[in-house]
Amino acid sequence: MRILMISTDFPYKSKDGTIIQGGGSACIAQLVEGLLKKNVELAVVTRAEKNIDQELFKIPIYRTRFLYLGFRESKITHSLFSLPTAIKAIKEFNPDVIHSHNPPAALTGIACAKLFHKPHFLTMHGPWSEVRIKGIKKTIAEKIERFVLKHVDIITCDSIALKNQLEHKYKIKAVAIQNAVDKNYYSKIQKSNARSLLNIKTRDKIILFTGRFVAEKGLDTLLTAASNLLNRRKDITLLLIGGGFDEKIVHGWLGRNRNYKNKILTIPFLRHELMKTAYCASDVFVLPSLAEGLSRSLMEAMLFGLPSIATAVGGNMELLENNRGILVKSKDSKELAQAISKVLADREIANKIAKNGRSYVINNLTVEKRISKFITSYNRIKTQDRKLKTGD
C-alpha cells in the first residue's frame, strides 16, 4: 500500500536536534514510523524550513514554500504553493490513498483527490477552528473546516471528544483514533540529575507546562495561578517549556511582574530527546488549555508518573477522568491554584492519580493500537474506492 501524506508541519533534524513543531507534527511522525515498520510505502508533502540539517525518515519528502505573514494562520498559505508539488508527488509516487492532516493541508488534498481520482483521508489533530479564539479568525476557520470535512472520504479524530464535537457541529461521520504514547520513550532519571542536566538549581517543587506558547493554552490563567501560589508559599517554581506565535503572553507578563522572575523559568526550545529530562525534573504537570485534542504532552507526563492537572475540555477529560488526574474549569486561576496546592500537599492523592494515569496510557494508548486502526481505515477506503471504480 502507498500513502501520500500532506501536512503543513513535519519534523526534521537541525543542528540543534530534532524539531517537532507541536503535538500534531509529533503524532504524524509517530504514524509514519509505525507504518514503515508495517511495510507501508510513504511519501510526504510539507512546508520547507530554513534550518533543516537532514530529514528524519528515508522516504520521499517534498518540501515547498509558504508565506510567513507574522501570525500563525500564515501556514494556510502553504496550500497555495503545495498543489504543484503535490501533483508532482502523485505522478512520481502514485499513491493508493491521499492522507491530509488538518484542514489547510486538506485543501491541497481535495484538489489532488479530484484531479487524480484518489481516495482522500483526513485526520483532525485537535479542534482546529476552536483554537482560533478571536472572532473573524474563528469564523474563517470554521468555514474552511466545514468545507474540507464535507469533501473528504474518511475523517479520523485524535480523541473521542473531538469526534463527538465535529459530528454534532457539522453533521458528518468521523472515526476516533486516539493519539498514542510510546512506552519505550520512558526512562527514569533521578530528579536531581534531571535538574542538573537542565541547569535548574532550585530544590523547589516544580510545576511543569510544556507546549506551544499560544493564547488557547491558557498561559495567562496559569501565570495568575502561579503568582497566587507564590504569594502564599516560596517552595515552588513554575517551569514553562515551549515557544510560539504568542510568546508575548509570557514575556509581557514577566515584564509586568518582575518580582516573580526567579520563580518562573522559561526554556524556549528543548530538543525532544531531552523532554524526558523535564518530566523527571518536575513534580506536577499542568495543562490549562481553552481547547484541546488528545494532548501528547499530557500523555507523556502521565507516562512519566507525574500527577497531572488539566482543564475539563476536549480530550483532557478522557485522559484524566476516573481519578487519573484532576480536572478544573478553564480560565479559572483560583481553582487551578487550589488543585496544584492539593496535589503538592497530599502525597497520597498525588501518588494515586499518578499511578492511575501511568497505568492507563501504558495499557490503552499504545502505538501498536493506533497504527493498526489507521491501516484498517486505509484498507477500508481503498476497498471502497476499488468497488466504485469497478462497479462491484
Residue 371 has which C-alpha cell?
Answer: 497504527
Calculate mean pLDDT across residues 179-199.
93
Looking at residue 303, its amino acid is L
Identify the pLDDT of residue 14. Answer: 84
Calculate mean pLDDT across residues 386-391.
57
CB 308 within 8 A of CB 320: yes
Residue with the bigger pLDDT between 195 and 252: it is 195
**How many angstroms separate the CA atoms of 11 and 59, rounded?**
13
Calculate mean pLDDT across residues 239-256.
83
Of the candidate ranges 11-20, 232-241, 314-323, 361-370, the one whose mean pLDDT is the lowest: 11-20
Residue 245 banded pLDDT, cuts 50, 70, 90: low
pLDDT tens digits for range 38-65:
999 999 999 888 888 889 999 999 999 8
Identify the pLDDT of residue 79. Answer: 78
Place of cell 481503498: 382
Sheet containing 308-311: order of strands: 264-267, 236-241, 205-210, 284-287, 308-311, 326-328
CB 54 within 8 A of CB 11: no
Q: Enumerate domains of the chain plus CATH numbers.
A: 2-180+366-390 (3.40.50.2000), 183-364 (3.40.50.2000)
pLDDT at 69 > cutoff 70: no
Residue 386 banded pLDDT, cuts 50, 70, 90: low
pLDDT at 71 > cutoff 90: no
- Residues 266, 267, 269, 272, CA torsion sign: negative
* Mean pLDDT estimate for the chain: 91
Output the CA–CA distances (angstroms, integers) from residue 116 to 35, 99, 317, 361, in the order listed. Answer: 23, 14, 40, 40
pLDDT tens digits for range 109-167:
999 999 999 999 999 999 988 876 567 888 888 999 999 999 999 999 999 999 999 99
Instruction: Give the global pTM.
Output: 0.91
pLDDT at 387 > cutoff 70: no
Residue 383 banded pLDDT, cuts 50, 70, 90: confident
CB 332 within 8 A of CB 309: no
